Amino acid sequence: MDLERFNYDENDKSHRFIRKIGISVISLVVFLLIWWNLSLLLNNPAVPTPGETWDAMLYLFDKGDAVSGMTMWGHMSISLQRFVAGLLLALAVAVPMGLLLGYSDTINEFSSPTLEILRPIAPIAWAPIFLFTVGYVWGPILVVFVGIFFPMLTNTIFGVKKIEPSWVDASKTLGANKMQVFTKVMLPASVPYVMNGLRIGMGVGWMCIVASELYASFGGGVGYFISIQAQLGYWPNVFVGIVIIAILGLLTTGVSDYAYRTIVKRMGME
């Protein structure tokens, strides 16, 4: 057998890809084996084996969740809808606000005390208040909004403040008015920072949606699914919910990572 043929070549794209996939698969196999051993060692029904979780997952996707009458697709769809609504709301509020606060020192100084009081509060702490005040539709969405809003706001402000003064001076020299400086220089230059805020915020947003759904009793969602399955002591189903959150979180942060890298690359800011 010609072993030379299998020599790894760092410069070969397909070799790098195969290596990456191989390492990921081995890493997951080790993770599953550790999980399996841990479950058997603890011998606690609240920590099911990967096999029990897999069986439960197949059942839930095939037959659905008998308690809520919803399929897992239904729960995932509800959580995603709430997540996206909170994300869009955060984008719509945090980006213009961040640009304004980054642009105007006076407005920034005026709003800083209030924002600094609100910023350290864990978004999840708002969950019961939002659910009770604005209801079960907007409550979880607002919790996600708070989770994404602050990372996005602070990154946008930071992005505007990091703009090279020479860019602003050059545009002014070329005859740009204040509005043009804002829209043609500051706005595009801050996009990578906004995307970075989005990337961080999305991770926080997933924690928020699941936590707020633990309280919500209307409409379902992955968080609520976990909550009711825990009440029944149906632990493999609880783990299915956890696995689904992990997958959805991985997918959404993966998408935002990709978008961030693409934008940064296109804008020549690598």
Partner 1 sequence: MNWNFKMWGAVFLAIVILSASGLILSQQPSEGESVSIISRVNNDGSGIFVRNTVAGDFVTIDGETITYYPSDWGGKLFMTPGPASIQHMMLTEIVKEKVGLKFDLAPDNNEFSSDTVYWIGVPPGQMKDVMGKNSNIDGGIAWEPHYAVAIASGNCRSILKTSEYWEGHPCCVVAGNNTYLSSNQVAVTRFMAAYVYSVQWMEQVMAKDLDDSERIDLIQLAIDIGTPPTSGEEQMDPSVAEAALNNILYSYELGNLNEQLADVVDIYESLALVNPNSRSNAGFATPLDFTNHLINGTYLDSVFNDSEHTELKTPSEMGVVGTGSVRIKVAYLAADVHQLALHVGIAKGFFNQYGIEVELVGPFAAGGAVMNALLAGQADIGFVGSPPVVSSSINALR
> Is residue 86 involved in binding partner 1 (CB under 8 A)?
no
Q: What is the contact mask toward partner 1 in residues 17 to 36, using x (rule: CB under 8 A)?
A: ---------x--xx--xx-x
DSSP lists the bridge partners of residue 65 as: 70
Taking the complex as a whole, the smallest distance from the CB of residue 250 to partner 1 amounts, in Å, to 23
Using CB under 8 A, pick the residue from 61, 167, 182, 218 that binds partner 1: 218
Judged by CB under 8 A, the chain residues 29 through 68 that form the site for partner 1 are: 29-30, 33-34, 36-37, 40-41, 43-46, 52, 56, 63, 66-68
Identity of the residue, 40 or 107, whose beta carbon is nearer to partner 1 in the bound complex: 40
- Please tell me the count of residues contacting partner 1 according to CB under 8 A: 38
**String of b and e for 212-226 (b: at least 16 CB within 10 Å)?**
bbbbbeebbbbbbbb
Rounded to a whole number of angstroms, the distance between the first and last alpha carbons of the chain is 44
Q: Do residues 189 and 108 lie in contact, with contact meaning Cβ atoms separated by under 8 Å? A: no
Identity of the residue, 40 or 246, whose beta carbon is nearer to partner 1 in the bound complex: 40
For residues 247 and 90, what is the distance between their CA atoms, to the nearest angstrom? 23
For residues 114 and 8, what is the distance between their CA atoms, to the nearest angstrom? 56
Identity of the residue, 224 or 260, whose beta carbon is nearer to partner 1 in the bound complex: 224
> Is residue 207 involved in binding partner 1 (CB under 8 A)?
no
For the chain, where are the alpha helices, taking DSSP H only?
Answer: 13-42, 50-62, 72-103, 105-118, 127-161, 165-173, 178-180, 187-215, 222-232, 235-266
Judged by CB under 8 A, the stretch of 114-122, 152-160, 233-241, 246-254 that binds partner 1 is: 233-241
Identity of the residue, 17 or 132, whose beta carbon is nearer to partner 1 in the bound complex: 132
Structure-token pair, residue 170: 């050059």
| Dihedral class, residue 64 (left if φ above 0, else alpha if ψ from -120 to 50, else beta) | left
Judged by CB under 8 A, the chain residues 122 through 181 that form the site for partner 1 are: 136-137
Using CB under 8 A, pick the residue from 230, 242, 263, 264 that binds partner 1: 230
